[in-house]
Structure 1
Amino acid sequence: MVHALVAGGGIGGLATALSLARHGHRVTVLERAEAFAEIGAGIQLGPNAFHALDVLGVGRQVREQAVFVDELRLMDGTSGGRLVAVPLTERYRRRFGNPYAVVHRTDLHQPLLTACREAKGVELLAGTAVRRYEQNASGVTAETLDGRRHHGELLVGADGLRSTVRARLVGDGPPRVSGHTIYRSVIPIDRVPPELRWNTVTLWAGPNWHFVHYLIAGGRYLNLAATLDDGAREPVTGRPRPREWVLGRFPGTHPTPRRLLELGEEWREWVLCDRDPVPDWTDGRVTLAGDAAHPMLQYAAQGACQALEDAVVLGEELDGASADGVPSGLRRYNTRRHRRTARAQLLAREMGVRLYHASGRAARARDTLLRTLSEDDLHHQVAWLHGDRDFTDAGDRPAPSRPEPVGR
């Protein structure tokens, strides 16, 4: 048994702590916020996420609050026509071994938090932000902002997009600002007209914008997210915006998505950021996981899914490890994960440009291509991402610089 320090108590950090504890290790989670909580609204979970959750022992609890959608639907946001739909019902579930679902972020975070609180050997410390770390041949020490020092045999940086651990380990500066602004709102279901309560993840694509909506929290709310390619260059996190402001940024939408947008009352704004993939996020007894290792735009709906995969693989590679075996275990974890996560990062970028925000001739070419795809074709496109159970596959090839579109 070794003592692991985990910086960050979000979805990735708690999943990592739970995985390590299930493999016999002692874990201390160092969370910068004053309480363990998850901000945000809806999140999509592919079959790969449910496989990871089952391995971690919380799949049933997450399923209890999930909405199992029938299809991923891509619509023309200006004409209202259907472009393509990926069926997610029985045939899809048989092929990939699990369903596709949407949840409120808290309905994923809370089961992980409860499992960590109940797990033997997991200590959860809130209000404990990691400022720096140092390591030697036998261990690693994390120093927090309040001056306390925590010692262990390994440190996992699961502290998000602006990871303090990554800043020292990789040293690649601030995140990359994508130039895309997203507006999010959550609507109680009793305010949504019955004819708009679709059991789908529906995305309306327009020139330099898109709008996605789906039910969350067991169907009690409708999650709305509208994204604009506006060239934004300064990071923004959760800034309130008036309803009129948001509606004014999306003129020319078809009446149906417009009706849905008009339901939003309390909107918040984010400017989306990610980072370039790196092949190496491990140094000795220190490694990264989740958004600290491979932050990605939301367009492939895989950020949380890949963090859950990280947790499973890290636990497997440290199963039964002694203190001396930690560096080699972390290196194996890095080797298994970096190609797959890099491909997912690049895919997410390409989907925003080529699939969701295309205009003019590029949009017409996209529409023509999508209409030729069969159900089998669509399932094949997502197979490497949704169907892998080893969590190492990158399509048997290097992560491409121009990955092909895949259904969201």
Structure 2
Amino acid sequence: MLIIGGGIGGLAAALGAAEAGKKTTVLEQAPQFGEIGAGIQLGPNATAVLDRFGLMDEIAKYAVFPQRLVLKDAFSGKELSALDLGDAFKERYGFPYIVLHRSDLHKVLLDACKASPFVTLVNDQVIESVEENEAGVIVKNTKGEAFVGSAVIGADGLWSKTRRYFSEDEPICSQYVAYRGTIPMSEVSVDSSMDDVIMWIGPNLHVVQYPVRRKELYNQVVVFKSLNYKEDSDDWGTPDEMDIVFKGCHPHVENALSFIEKQVRWPMYDREPIDNWTKGNVTLLGDSAHPMLQYLAQGGCQALEDATTLADMLIQHGDNYNQAFLAYQQERIPRTAKVQTCARTWGEIIHAVDPVSILLRNTILEQREADDFGLTDWLYGYKRTYSKHTV
């Protein structure tokens, strides 16, 4: 079996296939396997998968286990709401909420793949096309070289070439842009809590902060909507515009901006959900199947959920890859489509501009208790397939 893409989703898919006794070759376009970006949040729906694959002990060496998710007003600094992540949370969902550097997560997955006799890793493979005929599924790279497998999993991200096998749709720009970075703990404000994931929210903007790598680094993400958005252009969402948008914010937010790496901007895209990912012995996984906005911190989590469901279906259906893939997508498409659309909605809520909407939002948030899990059960309580060989 061939897996296109060696990111978090592709490596997790390889581990899931290995559990089902399937040999895979992971084709990664970069010269080396690695992960870009900064921090990543993993809810219990994701740490459950890491536990299934036997990786949580290693992950715990790098991760931070926050005590709360906190929403604050980016201008007044007022705490609007919080979600306790302590014992009651872990008892309810079975697994912890963690934050860590994306490269640390990727390294643990990569090391597990390297240790598996079922996984082969190949770099420098920019894939151009996928086709299926009587010989099998054929993947061709830009050099004209071909790989032939019994099945293909496209895990090649937002700009997936594999997705073209199913849909001619294009990524949708939200007109928001993100700037990310980590800073040494010595540079962090003494008022910042090392036990919280903090999201500062305001009209058309937000900032996320939390510690990573055993609390040695502090991860920060600055996000705002550009009023200068231009399609097919990079001349929008600039650092200069960021300074204007965040002018007058709380001093802690202004301090965060002073440490953000401004050389790289990350335009934020998603796609509309599609109702089919499978054709013959080809399917999609992770962002190639369901790219979503980051507002629920679920992109990586949903890719891990994909991998555990795929493992179960491969165990159940053996070498009938088409049936395995169809059963996999039947389970996953409704779930991921809901997360995609809810991420958009949550983005509209936290970025509200209208004063009445802001007042309504804040009133609702301030009335909920930190141990009220009613709003998160649908997201974190997804427990369909987390034990080996249970289908």
TM class by shorter-chain length?
A: over 0.9
Note closer, same or farther for the CA distance 1:332–1:208 as it changes in structure 2 (3 Å cut): same
Q: Could you say what the CA RMSD is over the residues aligned between the two structures, in angstroms?
A: 2.0
Deviation sequence 1:186-213 (CA, Å, 0-9, x none): 1111121333243211111111111111
Q: Please state how far the C-alpha of 1:134 moved relative to its aligned partner.
A: 1.0
Q: Does 1:21 align with 2:18?
A: yes
Aligned pair partner of 1:156 in 144, 153, 156:
153
Say whether the 8 Å CA contact 2:179–2:260 is kept in structure 1: no
- 1:360 aligned partner, one-letter code: P
DSSP-derived class of the 1:375 partner:
coil
Q: 1:356 to 1:198 in 2, by over 3 A?
A: farther
Amino acid at match of 2:110: L
Match of residue 100 from structure 1: 97
Q: Percent identity?
A: 38
Q: Are 1:350 and 2:331 counterparts?
A: no
The more displaced of 360-369 and 132-141 is 132-141
**5 Å matches for 1:112-123?**
112-123=109-120
Deviations 1:341-360 (A, max 9, x none): 00000011111111344441
Take 1:28 and 1:44, find their aligned partners in 2: how far apart are those partners? 28
Q: Is the 8 A contact 1:178 1:233 kept in 2?
A: no
The alignment partner of 1:182 has SS state of strand
In structure 2, do the counterparts of structure 1 residues 235 and 9 end up closer, same or farther at CA, with 3 Å as the change threshold? farther
| 3-state SS of paired residue (2:120) | strand
Per-residue CA deviation, residues 215-268 of structure 1 (Å, 9 max, x unaligned), is 11111111111111225344789x9976x6643431120122222322335553
Q: Is the 8 A contact 2:226 2:237 kept in 1?
A: no
* Residue 281 (1) aligns with residue 243 (2): no
Residue among 172, 177, 199 paired with 1:176: 172
Provide the C-alpha distance between the structure 2 equivalents of 1:240 and 1:388, rounded to a whole number of angstroms: 36
Deviations 1:360-391 (Å, cap 9, x if unpaired)? 111011011112212343x1111111121116
11-20 or 144-153: bigger deviation:
144-153
Question: Is 1:126 aligned to residue 123 of structure 2?
Answer: yes
- Mapped to 1, the partners of 2:296 and 2:385 lie a distance apart of 16
Equivalent residue, structure 1, for 2:53:
56
SS in 2 for 1:280: coil
Distance 1:387 1:236 in 2: 40
2-structure distance, mates of 1:195, 1:166: 46
Matches within 5 A, 1:1-16: 4-16=1-13
Contact map agreement 2:81 2:370 (CA 8 A) in 1: no
Q: Is the 8 A contact 2:200 2:206 kept in 1?
A: yes
> What's the secondary structure of 1:123's corresponding residue?
strand
Q: Which residue of 1 aligns with 2:136?
A: 139
List alignment gaps of at least 5 residues for structure 2.
387-391
The reply on whether 1:189 has 2:185 as its aligned counterpart is yes
Cα distance between partner residues in 2 of 1:103 and 1:271: 22
Q: Which residue of 2 aligns with 1:386?
A: 380
Is the counterpart of residue 363 in structure 1 residue 362 in structure 2? no
Distance 2:67 2:351 in 1: 20
Residues 235, 271 of structure 1: 8 Å contact kept: no
The one-letter amino acid of 1:24's match is G
In the alignment, structure 1 residue 210 sits paired with structure 2 residue 222: no
Following the alignment from structure 1 to structure 2, what is the Cα–Cα distance between the partners of residues 40 and 260? 17
CA contact (8 A) 1:76 1:205 kept: yes
Aligned mates of 2:86, 2:222 — CA distance in 1: 26
CA distance in 1, matches of 2:258, 2:243: 7
Q: Show the counterpart of 1:375.
A: 370
Secondary structure of the residue aligned to 2:124 is coil
Q: Which amino acid aligns with 1:200?
A: D
Which whole-Å CA distance do the structure 2 matches of 1:93 and 1:236 have between them?
Answer: 45
Question: How does the TM-score come out when normalised to structure 1?
Answer: 0.90
Q: Distance in 2 between matches of 1:235 and 1:194?
A: 42
For residue 330 of structure 1, give the secondary structure of its aligned residue in structure 2: helix
Query: Aligned residue for 1:261?
Result: 257
Q: Confirm or deny: 8 A CA contact 1:185 1:267 kept in the other structure.
A: no
Q: 1:292 to 1:235 in 2, by over 3 A?
A: farther
**Contact 1:208–1:359 under 8 Å retained in 2:** no
Match of 2:66 among 57, 69, 72: 69
Task: Tell me how far 1:13 sits from its aligned partner.
Answer: 0.4
Following superposition, the deviation at residue 167 of structure 1 comes to 1.4
When residues 322 and 95 of structure 1 are mapped into structure 2, their CA distance, relative to the original with a 3 A threshold, is closer
Q: Is the 8 A contact 1:206 1:359 kept in 2?
A: no
Tell me what 2:389 maps to: none
Distance 1:117 1:348 in 2: 34
Cα distance change on mapping 1:198 and 1:322 into 2, 3 Å = closer
Closer, same or farther: CA 251–374 of 1 in aligned 2, 3 Å: same
CA distance in structure 1 between the partners assigned to 2:267 and 2:189 by the alignment: 30
Kindly provide the amino acid, as one letter, of the partner of residue 373 in structure 1.
R
Distance verdict in 2 for CA 1:391–1:75, change over 3 Å: farther
Amino acid at match of 2:293: L
* CA contact 1:203–1:212 (8 Å) conserved in 2: yes
CA contact under 8 A between 2:189 and 2:252: conserved in structure 1? Answer: no
1:336 aligns with 2:328: no
Equivalent position of 2:302 in the other structure = 306
1:128-164 alpha-carbon deviations (Å, 9 max, x no partner): 1211011135621111111111111110000000100
Which 4+ runs in 1 deviate beyond 6 A? none
| Structure 2: distance between partners of 1:211 and 1:284 | 43
Cα separation, 2, equivalents of 1:274 and 1:209: 18
> Aligned equivalents of 2:327 and 2:135: distance in 1?
19
Instruction: Name the structure 2 match of 1:396.
Output: none
Contiguous gaps of at least 5 residues in structure 1: 393-408
Give the distance between the partners of 2:89 and 2:37, measured in 1 at CA.
Answer: 28
